[in-house]
Amino acid sequence: MSISKNNLHNAQPQVALTDEAPSRVAIWGLPLAVLVIAAAALVLAWFQGERLGVPDGTPRTLALIGIPVLLVVIVIIHLIAISTGAYAGAAKLFRLQTSEKEAASATGQLLKRDARLQRLFEELRISQGRRWRYRLPWLMVTGADTLLDQVAPGLKRAGAMPVGNAVLVHAAPDGIDAGVWRRQIRKLRSRRPVDGVVHVTHVDDRDIELPRVLAALAADMGWAAPVTLLHAVPAQGERPETFEAIGAFPRAAYKGEQPTLVLRDQLAAIERGTADAGVQQCTAPTRVSYLAEISQYIGTQLEHIVTGWQALRASQWLRTPLAGVMFAPVFKATAAMPTPVPIAADASTTVINIPIEVPPQPAALLPAWGAIAGRQRIGRRVGFYWPDALAMGVTVAAIAWCTWMTVSFIGNQQLMREAEATARAAVDARPQTAVAWRAQLALQQLMEKLEYRQQHGAPWYLRAGLSRNDDILAGLWQPYRLAATRNLQAPAVQTIGDVLKAAGQTRADSLQSQDTRGSTYNALKTYLMLGEPSRADPEFLKRMLAALWSRPVEMPLGERDDTGRRLAGFYADHLKAHPEWRIATDDRIVTSTRNMLVTQMGLASADDTVYQRILDEVKNKYADASLGTLLNGADAHGMFKASQTVPGIYTRAAWDGMVAAAIDKASHERRISSDWVLSGSQASQRVGNTLAQGMTQTPAIDDEKRAAEELKQRLTARYFSEYTAAWQRMLNSLQWQPTSNLGGAVEQLSRLADAQTSPLIALMKSVQYQAQAGRPSQALAATLVRKAQNLIGADEQAGTAVVNPLDKAFGPLLVLMGDPGASSAAENGKRATPADIALSGVSLSRYLTAVTTMRLKLQQIASSPDAQVMARSLAQAVFQGKLSELSQARNDAALTAASLGTAWAGFGDTVFAQPLEAAWQTILQPAAASLNDAWRAGVAAPFNAAMSGRYPFFDTQADASFAEIGRYVRPDTGLISRFITTQLAGVMKLDGDRWAPSELAPQALQFDPAFLSAVRQLSTVGAQLYSQADAGEKFDMMALPTPNVARSELSVDGMQIVYFNQQERWTPLAWPGNGLNGHARLTWQTLDAGLRQAFDSAGDWAFLRLLSEAEINPLDGTRYRLTWNTERGEPLSYVLRTRIGAGPIDLLKLRGFRMPDRIFVVGKAGAVPTMPLLPPLPSDVQP
Residue 107 confidence (pLDDT) above 60: no
In this model, does residue 105 exceed pLDDT 70? Answer: no
- Of 366 and 1171, the structure prediction assigns the larger pLDDT to 366
Burial 423-451 (b: 16+ CB within 10 A, else e): bebbbebebbebebbbbbbbbbebbeebb
Lowest mean pLDDT among 382-391, 525-534, 870-879, 1032-1041: 870-879
Express the helix, strand and coil content of the chain in percent, nearest 5 each: 55, 10, 35
Q: What mean pLDDT is predicted for residues 99-122?
A: 63
Q: Are 1059 and 1084 in contact (CB under 8 A)?
A: no
CA-wise closest residue to 685 among 697, 675, 670: 697
**pLDDT classification of 556: cutoffs 50, 70, 90:** confident
Q: Is the previous residue joined to 952 through a cis bond, with omega within 30 degrees of 0?
A: yes
If you compute the radius of gyration of the chain from its CA atoms, what whole number of angstroms results?
Answer: 60
Q: Looking at residues 619-642, what average pLDDT do you find?
A: 89
- The pLDDT, as a whole number, for residue 606 is 61
Name the helix (H) or strand (E) containing 472. Answer: helix 469-484
Strand partners, 334: none
Least confident among 603-617, 672-686, 770-784: 672-686
Instruction: Give the residue with greater pLDDT, 516 vs 249.
Output: 249
Burial (CB < 10 A; 0-12, 13-18, 19+), residue 256, is exposed
- With bands split at pLDDT 50, 70 and 90, how would you rate the model's confidence at 746? confident
Helical (H) or strand (E) element with 234:
strand 227-234
Using the predicted structure, report yes or no on whether residue 198 has a pLDDT greater than 90. yes
What pLDDT is stored for residue 690 in this prediction? 36
- The rounded percent of the chain whose pLDDT value lies above 90 is 17
**Could you give the percent of the chain with pLDDT greater than 70?**
81
Of 55-59, 438-442, 1155-1159, least confident by mean pLDDT is 55-59
User: Which has the higher per-residue pLDDT, 843 or 87?
Assistant: 843
Please state the rounded mean pLDDT for residues 859-865: 80
Question: Residue type for 956, please?
Answer: T
φ and ψ at residue 989, rounded to 5 degrees? -135, 155
What pLDDT digit, counting tens, does each position of 869-920 carry? 777 777 767 666 665 677 788 788 888 888 888 999 999 998 888 898 888 7
How far apart, in whole angstroms, are the C-alpha atoms of residue 1158 and residue 933? 7
pLDDT band at 1059 (very low <50, low <70, confident <90, very high): confident
pLDDT of residue 1183: 34
Give the pLDDT confidence score for residue 416 in this predicted structure: 93
User: Distance (Å, rounded) from C-alpha 749 to C-alpha 377?
Assistant: 104
Residue 148: what are its φ and ψ, rounded to 5°?
Answer: -65, -35
What integer is the mean pLDDT of 667-681? 63
User: pLDDT by residue (tens digit) across 349-381?
Assistant: 334 344 556 788 888 889 999 898 888 777 888
Q: What per-residue confidence (pLDDT) applies to 698? A: 40
Lowest mean pLDDT among 551-565, 1087-1101, 1137-1151, 1155-1169: 1155-1169
User: Would the pLDDT of 555 be above 50?
Assistant: yes
pLDDT-derived band of residue 788, with 50, 70 and 90 as boundaries? low
Helix (H, G, I), strand (E, B) or coil at 760: helix
The whole-number pLDDT of residue 826 equals: 40
The answer to pTM > 0.75 is no
Binned at pLDDT 50, 70 and 90, residue 602 comes out as low
> Of 55-69, 807-821, 892-906, which range is least confident?
55-69
Residue 1049 pLDDT greater than 70, yes or no: yes
Region class of 457: left (phi > 0), else alpha (psi between -120 and 50), else beta: left
Q: Is the pLDDT assigned to residue 527 strictly greater than 70? A: yes
CA dihedral angle for residue 816, residue 822, residue 826, residue 828, rounded to 10 degrees:
-170
Mean pLDDT of the region 720-727: 93
Q: Other CB atoms closer than 10 Å to residue 708's CB: what's the count?
A: 18
At 919-943, the pLDDT tens digits run 877 777 777 888 888 899 889 999 9
Is the pLDDT at 830 greater than 50? The verdict is no
More reliable by pLDDT, 384 or 334: 384
What stretch of H or E contains 1131?
A: strand 1131-1138
**Is the pLDDT at 834 greater than 80, yes or no?**
no
Q: DSSP secondary-structure letter at 227?
A: E
**Cα separation, 1032 vs 1070, whole angstroms:** 7
pLDDT of residue 927: 77
Average pLDDT over the chain reads 79
In single-letter form, the type of residue at position 1107 comes to: L
For 559-621, the DSSP string reads HHHHHHHHHHHHHHHHHTT-GGG-----HHHHHHHHHHHHHHHTHHHHHHHHHHHHHHHHTTS
Is the model more confident about 394 or about 878?
A: 394
Cβ-Cβ contacts under 8 Å for 282 (sequence gap 6 or more): 288, 289, 292
Among the listed ranges 448-457, 499-508, 871-880, 1091-1100, which one has the minimum average pLDDT value?
871-880
CB count within 10 Å of CB 661 equals: 12
Q: Name all contacts of 680-685 with Cβ < 8 Å and 24+ positions apart.
A: 680/590, 680/594
Query: Are 1107 and 1148 in contact, with CB atoms under 8 Å apart?
Result: yes
